[in-house]
């Protein structure tokens, strides 16, 4: 299955990614509803990475248009206090939004979206002032599960399997196989890349282009990744496709693409790499031409 992912992601202004087949939205920056129009009604589950305004302010319009009993379900880092304030405000601001449900999530929590699909949260260190026990910023991993016949039984006939299922129970004939369909870093410093290993599609932030640039910035601001760090780390991971977003609007399209090609060459990254350019909505990203 090739996922249909549409998104907009520019540091400071807005970030959101819509995964159509999974009826899922990752972050909810400005512009979702006016961009997706009627398609925004397909969103059942919204996973917010953190409370920075460029990741949440699209929710007001989206929810007001699409609220129905129990949906959309909004998931957010449990210690992101201004997101629970936004829940309270939005439910008072628009009566219809009372129907939406909001779920705080801690680290490594699982949310079942469908029988064969779940999302797992992963705390990161984007928010500098978060204490160790606080969860103010999350990335997400989306898994698909399938039951596969155990190797002991693959040579048996249908009838023999049916009888075994009756005596042993159907579950004992199969193993659960997990596929990491998609991972989303949220805003994060370049850290813990091992957690994204073996994922089919990684959406990672790359706010700045080089480590040298990052080193010149104030260190008390929330932490971000550089393109250089992400591509260096991805070179050692088993990933099928990389989508880069959250670039600073200080960079031109040419600067971003040149840097992606330069670092892909330097680190021997050979997988397809897509990028979301500042100020642009990218439709159906995986069916567009990769930059690498
Ligand atoms: Zn951001």
245 CA distance to ligand 1 middle (Å): 10
Could you tell me if residue 264 is inside a domain?
Answer: yes
Average per-residue pLDDT for the chain: 94
101 CA distance to ligand 1 middle (Å): 24
pLDDT of residue 220 exceeding 80, the answer is no
Note the helical H segments in 156-223: 158-168, 211-215
94 CA distance to ligand 1 middle (Å): 26
Find the largest Cα–Cα distance for the chain. 69
CATH number reported for the structural domain that contains residue 199 in this entry: 3.60.15.10
273 CA distance to ligand 1 middle (Å): 20
**The two three-digit tokens of residue 20, written as one number:** 């159509």
Under 8 Å between Cβ of 35 and 8: yes
pLDDT band at 170 (very low <50, low <70, confident <90, very high): confident
120 CA distance to ligand 1 middle (Å): 20
30 CA distance to ligand 1 middle (Å): 12
Place of tokens 């989306």: 142
**CB contact set of 126 (below 8 Å; sequence gap of 6+):** 49, 50, 136, 137, 186, 187, 188, 189, 222, 223, 224
Predicted local distance difference test score (pLDDT) of residue 96: 85
Could you tell me if residue 38 is inside a domain?
Answer: yes
Could you tell me if residue 271 is inside a domain?
Answer: yes
Q: Give the pLDDT confidence of 39-73 residue by residue, as tens digits.
A: 999 999 999 999 999 999 999 999 999 998 989 99
Look at residue 221 and give its three-state secondary structure.
Answer: coil
Place of tokens 């939205």: 25
**The two three-digit tokens of residue 100, written as one number:** 């939406």
Structural domains in the chain (count): 1
Question: Distance between CA 39 and CA 216 in Å, rounded?
Answer: 42
Could you tell me if residue 66 is inside a domain?
Answer: yes
193 CA distance to ligand 1 middle (Å): 19
Note the helical H segments in 136-252: 158-168, 211-215, 227-234
154 CA distance to ligand 1 middle (Å): 48
158 CA distance to ligand 1 middle (Å): 53
HSE-CB for 144 with a 13 A CA cutoff: 12
Could you tell me if residue 255 is inside a domain?
Answer: yes
Under 8 Å between Cβ of 120 and 141: yes
246 CA distance to ligand 1 middle (Å): 7
Q: Give the pLDDT confidence of 13-34 residue by residue, as tens digits.
A: 999 999 999 999 999 999 999 9
**Residue-range definition of the domain harbouring residue 241:** 5-287
Q: How far is CA 79 from CA 23, 35, 57, 133, 185, in A?
A: 25, 30, 18, 9, 18
Place of tokens 């997400």: 140
58 CA distance to ligand 1 middle (Å): 13
Could you tell me if residue 292 is inside a domain?
Answer: no
Distance of CA 236 to the CA centre of its chain: 20
Residue 225: name the closest of 278, 273, 188 by CA: 188
Note the helical H segments in the chain: 32-36, 59-66, 81-93, 158-168, 211-215, 227-234, 253-267
Could you tell me if residue 161 is inside a domain?
Answer: yes
187 CA distance to ligand 1 middle (Å): 6
pLDDT of residue 104 exceeding 70, the answer is yes
Residue 207: what are its φ and ψ, rounded to 5°?
-60, -45
137 CA distance to ligand 1 middle (Å): 11
Mean pLDDT computed over 167-171: 86
**The two three-digit tokens of residue 21, written as one number:** 């087949």
pLDDT of residue 217 exceeding 90, the answer is no
54 CA distance to ligand 1 middle (Å): 6
Predicted local distance difference test score (pLDDT) of residue 132: 86
Could you tell me if residue 129 is inside a domain?
Answer: yes
69 CA distance to ligand 1 middle (Å): 30
225 CA distance to ligand 1 middle (Å): 11
**How many C-beta neighbours within 10 Å does residue 190 have?**
21
Mean pLDDT computed over 111-139: 94
Q: Give the pLDDT confidence of 64-103 residue by residue, as tens digits.
A: 999 989 899 999 999 999 999 999 999 999 888 899 999 9
**CB contact set of 112 (below 8 Å; sequence gap of 6+):** 118
Under 8 Å between Cβ of 120 and 135: no
């Amino acid at each position: 299955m090739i996922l249909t992912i549409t998104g907009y992601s520019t540091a400071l202004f807005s970030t959101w990614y819509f995964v159509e087949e999974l009826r899922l939205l990752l972050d909810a920056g400005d512009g979702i509803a006016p961009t997706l129009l009627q398609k925004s009604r397909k969103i059942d589950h919204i996973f917010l990475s953190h409370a920075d305004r460029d990741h949440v302010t699209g929710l007001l319009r989206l929810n007001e248009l699409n609220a129905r009993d129990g949906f959309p379900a909004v998931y957010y880092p449990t210690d992101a206090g201004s997101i629970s304030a936004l829940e309270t405000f939005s439910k008072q601001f628009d009566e219809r939004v009372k129907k939406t449900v909001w779920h705080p999530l801690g680290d490594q929590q699982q949310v079942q979206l469908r029988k064969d699909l779940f999302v797992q949260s992963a705390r990161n260190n984007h928010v500098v002032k978060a204490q160790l026990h606080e969860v103010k910023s999350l990335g997400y991993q989306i898994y698909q599960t399938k039951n596969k016949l155990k190797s002991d039984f693959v040579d048996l006939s249908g009838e023999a399997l049916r009888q075994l299922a009756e005596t042993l129970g159907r579950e004992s004939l199969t193993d659960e196989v997990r596929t990491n369909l998609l991972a989303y870093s949220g805003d994060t410093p370049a850290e813990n890349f091992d957690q994204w290993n073996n994922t089919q599609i990684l959406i990672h932030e790359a706010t700045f282009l080089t480590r040298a640039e990052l080193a010149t910035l104030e260190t008390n601001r929330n932490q971000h990744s550089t393109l250089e760090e992400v591509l260096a780390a991805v070179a050692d991971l088993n990933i099928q496709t990389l989508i880069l977003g959250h670039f600073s609007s200080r960079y031109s399209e040419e600067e971003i693409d040149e840097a992606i090609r330069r670092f892909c060459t330097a680190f021997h990254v050979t997988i397809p790499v897509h990028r979301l350019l500042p100020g642009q909505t990218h439709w159906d990203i995986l069916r567009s031409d990769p930059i690498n």
